[in-house]
Structure 1
Amino acid sequence: MECSRIVPVLRMFDLDKTREFYLDFLGGELLGEPPFEPSMPLYLFVSLGGCELHLSEHFGDGMPGANLRIETAGVQAFQQALLAKAYRHARPGLEKPPWGGLEMTVQDPAGNRLTFYER
């Protein structure tokens, strides 16, 4: 068996806040938004620096409070760029865990945690 990639599905509850967080704050790119019926839950495909995430309002898709670890080059520069945006819901700091490397964790509007790390 050979696996090529993982695409996590994260729960979302508020489309506007989710867009603001993933697109405006984190600088992600909207890859798609399937055209479901207007009364159906929403679903987004987002790219973050080459990493694809799916965000879903569908009941049972993802569990609020998930934790993703995303290996990232240039975590400190990314953190400084995020701080410069003065996003009122997050001021991420940097941590040096005991096992080494550098980490920055941010929480999205649904309570999902994204930890960007470099070894």
Structure 2
Amino acid sequence: MSKIIPLFRVFDETKAREFYMQYLGFTLDWEHRFDDSAPLYMQISKGSLLIHLTEHYGDCSPGAAIRVEIAGIEAFHEQLSSQNYPYQRPGIEIAPWNSKEVRVTDPFGNRITFYEEMEAK
């Protein structure tokens, strides 16, 4: 086994693109529809992180959660904060398990916790 690609259920293509690509800075890798009226299925990426967003009923349930390890969480948080995105104002939390975390929730209830391990005391 070499990698995991999470799937997130989405219901509105415009809101999904605004959140993932404009706010979080993901890149669209590809998208697929069986025909012009079919639901959207697309892959987005940021660095080595890949996520599939799907409008297809039955692919997955909304409300999923993933954790993503990143380096430079303060800079990432600053980048998010500087955008004045009207639907999110995440902070940096210090978790009891010794990590700094920034948690965002997409318009469909899916959660991503970006975290950076802190040095041991």
TM-score with structure 1 length normalisation? 0.95
Could you tell me which amino acid in structure 2 is paired with residue 78 of structure 1? F
Q: Which residue number corresponds to residue 5 of structure 1?
A: 3
Q: Structure 2: any 5+ residue segments left out of the alignment?
A: none
Q: 1:35 Cα shift?
A: 4.0
Separation (CA, whole Å) in 2 of partners of 1:58 and 1:72: 29
Task: Output one character per residue of 1:12-69: Cα deviation in whole Å (capped at 9) or x when no partner.
Answer: 0000000000000000000001242011111110002220000000001121110100
TM-score with structure 2 length normalisation? 0.93
Q: Which residue number corresponds to residue 56 of structure 2?
A: 58
Q: 1:76 Cα shift?
A: 1.2
Q: Percent identity over the alignment?
A: 48
Q: Which residue number corresponds to residue 28 of structure 1?
A: 26
Quote the RMSD (CA, aligned, Å): 0.8
1:70 aligned to 68, 71, 77, which one? 68
Higher mean Cα deviation, 58-67 or 17-26? 58-67
Q: What is the SS of the residue equivalent to 2:93?
A: coil
Q: Which residue number corresponds to residue 105 of structure 1?
A: 103
Runs of 4+ in 1 over 2 A off after TM superposition: none
Q: Structure 1: any 5+ residue segments left out of the alignment?
A: none
Could you tell me which amino acid in structure 2 is paired with residue 64 of structure 1? P
Q: Which residue number corresponds to residue 42 of structure 2?
A: 44
Q: Specify which structure has the higher proportion of strand.
A: 2
Separation (CA, whole Å) in 2 of partners of 1:13 and 1:116: 23
